[in-house]
Amino acid sequence: MAPVIKLNNGLDMPQVGFGLWKVPNDVCAEVVYNAIKVGYRLFDGAADYGNEVECGQGIARAIKEGLVKREDLFIVSKLWNTFHDGDRVEPIVKKQLADWGIDYFDLYLIHFPVALEYVDPSVRYPPGWHYDGKSEIRPSKASIQETWTAMESLVDKGLAKSIGISNFQAQLIYDLLRYARIRPATLQIEHHPYLVQPELLKLAKKEGIAVTAYSSFGPASFQEFNMEHATKLTPLLEDETIKKIASKYEREPSQVLLRWATQRGLAIIPKSNSPSRMKANFESVNFDLSEEDIATISAMDRNIRFNQPSNYFPTEMLWIFG
């Protein structure tokens, strides 16, 4: 039986999920369908990924063919930055649900702690970071508290079973917890051996917030953006330390990186378009690393973040992130 993580609201979340970032639209429905056949039940999407319609088509096919029922699945999506104003949250969630072809999300997250001016979906969807679709950044005055209050109403109305946050750091989490009526069930963060974030993980554990790791393979997800660190660092899948540990257990380097996260209590959302790699990622929980090997991998920490505001904003706008 696939492992689950018990959330602070009593619901179970699969520990191994399937990430949908950068899954191309033309193959997305087939990829989701194949992932369900492999055994995945959690699918991690977002408005910003621009493929929620196709994700829904893959799920609808699997349900129609009797592979799964809706209640077997754990569907995750995220609120984009341009919809943080309180009165914008529910309408965009209803659009996203319609795109997926479902009635509720199992988990709905604030994608980034960044509020940008509203862009109507009829103008451009997904709207991206820039108001004009090119270079202009227009902040919104919406506070995290305003947005979170609207997120809580999604639970009240049955549009989301759980709500959470993504890309938040400690200070914002502490602030949110001061006024949250419904505490965040999960925190999704960039997490890999080059960015371990031990203090943030300790905070989340103390506050009963489950952590989901994305970009488990480090720079591999970001090399196409020509980021300096992503192109200069040794890819984790090719790192000699990781390869040596993988050889010891007769596993793939990818499986070692994923198991390093799950064995420490985190959820993971790797993605692959290849059914064989999907299967290998899904089966990464079927062995255990020694405590010594876990410590060795953790010691690779360089505190290097690839998903950061400088990738999207001109320098003078970085104050938005603090």
Q: Which residues are catalytic?
A: 49
Tell me: is residue 229 an annotated ligand-binding position: no
**CA separation, residue 172 to residues 19, 47, 82 (Å):** 25, 22, 19
Of the candidates 193, 274, 287, 278, the residue with the CA atom closest to the CA atom of residue 240: 193
CA–CA separation, 45 vs 77, rounded Å?
5
**CA separation, residue 166 to residues 31, 158, 319 (Å):** 24, 21, 18
Label residue 39 exposed, middle or buried (CB < 10 Å: 0-12, 13-18, 19+).
middle
Tally of CB atoms within 10 A around 171: 10
CA–CA separation, 98 vs 94, rounded Å?
6
**CA separation, residue 283 to residues 16, 24, 196, 261, 280 (Å):** 9, 24, 23, 14, 5
- What residues contact 266, with CB distance under 8 A and at least 6 apart? 191, 201, 211, 212, 213
Known binding-site residue numbers: 111
Known binding-site residue numbers for substrate: 111
